[in-house]
Amino acid sequence: MRVAVYPGSFDPITLGHVDVLRRSLDVFDRVVVAVLVNPKKAPMLDVAARVDTIVSGVAEALPDFSERVDVRPFAGLTVEACRELGASHIIRGLRAVSDFEAELQMAHMNHRLAPEIDTVFFMTALEFGYLSSSLVREIVRFGGDPAGMVPPSVAARLVAVAAAEGAPSRMR
Q: Is 98 a catalytic residue?
A: no
DSSP summary character for residue 37? -
Q: How far apart are CA 25 and CA 64, in angstroms?
A: 11
Residue 11 contacts by C-beta under 8 Å, 6 or more apart in sequence? 41, 43, 44, 45, 50, 133, 137
Q: How far apart are CA 95 and CA 130, in angstroms?
A: 7
Catalytic residue among 24, 133, 137, 157: 133
Q: Is 17 a catalytic residue?
A: yes
Q: Are 6 and 102 in contact (CB under 8 A)?
A: no
Which residues are bridge partners to 8 per DSSP? 35
Q: Is 111 a catalytic residue?
A: no
Q: Is 95 a catalytic residue?
A: yes
Q: Phi-psi category of 45—alpha, beta or left, where left has phi over 0 and alpha has psi -120 to 50?
A: beta
- From the number of C-beta atoms within 10 Å of its C-beta (0-12, 13-18, 19+), residue 72 rates as middle
Catalytic residue among 50, 89, 95, 157: 95
Residues annotated as catalytic (active site), given as ranges: 17, 41, 95, 133
